[in-house]
Amino acid sequence: MMEGCSLNPCSPSDVPMCLKQLEAAEEPACEPSSEMMLSLVAAVDPFGARAADAQRADAEGLPAYTPGDVWMVDDEVPREDSAAEFVDLLSNPERFTGYKGFESRSIWAAIYSENCFLDEDDDEDDEAEDLDYEDPVFGDSGHGPHAQQCLEKRVFFRLISGLHSSITCHLVDEYFFEDSQTWGPNLDMFKARFAAHPEHLDNLYFAYMLALRAFDKAAPLLSAYHYRTDNASEQAAVRITMGELVETLRGELTAARCDVPFDESRLFRGPDAAALRAAFQRKFYNISRIMDCVGCSKCRLWGKVQIRGLSVALRILFGDGSASSLAKLTRNQILTFVWTLHRLSESVAIVNRMHARHARATSLWTGVTVLVLVAAAGFATAVVRWFICRSSRARPSKLAKQD
């Protein structure tokens, strides 16, 4: 395994006691707490996540997965398993690891191709034309094999393409340059990935808006959630911080309501709604399984976190919407959802920084070009003047000889 792909797990002394407790009836449920706790992912299997027993209760005393909650992917390793580890996401940032080439392309090909709807003979949705869809696989504008599919299928592809674009943004923003042995943004790679396919960035914004809308819907729960820690002052600080985050993101969503990417109430309606919902859920679940095949531990970790986070967003948006349903979200589900929203929002910021960097580089190059042209024009003018002057001086002499 490449060095950049290795995970740096937490030492036992760094893991909060709350997260270590297992099925302790006398202890309250372990819930998200400080920044450190929000950056800890419980039970990560370094050899690929494995499904836990469907009947096993997690630390909150709730089933990790039930057939009626098919948006969720139950792929945590039981915490008593010797392969289970706690990983601090802050200490294992999402960045370029050197994992690329055929294997990486094969993973994304499997996600796009093996989870497609092309083999299903569903009737086309009359509302499909209402969505300005840009095909994430072929870069077409309404001309790819998915362009005439129903709204639910097109949303699926835009969401996966948006996640792909987000991951790419983080890789090019923290790229390792082997020649200088330094980390930094790779503008050339950013342009190579997105210049010819701006629709991929549109899909990034689409995924970001979907996550924002889910956050807006779950905001009351997130504000009232009991973020328990072993430190009372930290516990109060976390509640305040989450409240500020809720207000900030709800304000951002309010400002963007004039350009919402889609109305989720239009999805999963009509006679085929149940079949479409089941297919959507099944294919999204399969993506998490495909992520198990990623050969880079750090890439697999971040891929699994964000797939799980998006599945939480989908559960919030397309579940029954009841307060009791939202209240069943577990600590890790909330954790991965918040982290996924952070990754998407940071990707949008990366795009803005890359555009600014490109503008500065273009402006500098234009300035240098203008200076060169001015200098060349000045030199040419001087040569012309010299030639005219020389010719003027030579002409009387010639005329004198003719006389």
Residues 191-202 have pLDDT tens digits of 999 988 899 999
Does some domain include residue 58?
no
**What pLDDT was estimated at residue 169?**
95
Q: What are phi and psi of 138, to 5 degrees?
A: -105, -5
Higher pLDDT pick, 179 / 78? 179
The answer to whether the beta carbons of residues 239 and 32 sit under 8 Å apart is no
Give the domain range for residue 245.
Answer: 94-362
- Cα 87 to the chain's mean position, in Å? 19
Instruction: List the one residue out of 19, 14, 7, 12 whose CA is nearest residue 79.
Output: 19
Whether 45 has a pLDDT exceeding 80, the answer reads: no
- Return the number of other C-beta atoms located less than 10 Å from residue 212's C-beta: 21
State pLDDT tens for residues 118-139.
445 444 333 333 333 333 333 3
Does some domain include residue 61?
no
Which residue shows structure tokens 């009387």? 396
Does some domain include residue 178?
yes
Residue 182 DSSP SS3: strand
Strand blocks (E) in 5-116: 40-41, 87-88
Whether 91 has a pLDDT exceeding 60, the answer reads: yes
Count of structural domains, the chain: 1
**H helices within 272-330, ranges in order?**
273-291, 297-318, 323-327
**pLDDT average, residue stretch 362-383:** 54
- Across 2-11, 60-69, 172-181, 328-337, least confident range: 60-69
Does some domain include residue 332?
yes
Beta bridge partners of 175: 184
* Range from 175-189, 263-277, 306-320, 372-386 that averages highest in pLDDT: 175-189
State pLDDT tens for residues 175-188.
999 899 899 999 99
Q: What percent of the chain has pLDDT over 70?
A: 59
Higher pLDDT pick, 258 / 84? 84
Whether 278 has a pLDDT exceeding 70, the answer reads: yes
Does some domain include residue 67?
no
Does some domain include residue 66?
no
Cα separation of the two ends of the chain: 94
Confidence of residue 23 (pLDDT cuts 50, 70, 90): very low
**What pLDDT was estimated at residue 390?**
60
Does some domain include residue 36?
no
Whether 7 has a pLDDT exceeding 60, the answer reads: yes
Biggest CA pair distance of the chain: 124
Residue 155, amino acid: V
**What pLDDT was estimated at residue 364?**
56
Integer Cα distance of 271 and 256 in angstroms = 32
Residues 6+ apart with CB under 8 A from 49: 75, 76, 77, 288, 292, 304
State pLDDT tens for residues 329-343.
887 888 899 999 999
Q: How many Cα atoms occupy the beta-carbon half-sphere of 287 within 13 Å?
A: 30
**What pLDDT was estimated at residue 151?**
78
Integer Cα distance of 78 and 156 in angstroms = 30
Does some domain include residue 193?
yes
**What pLDDT was estimated at residue 135?**
38
Q: What percent of the chain has pLDDT over 90?
A: 18
How confident is the prediction for the chain on average, in pLDDT?
71
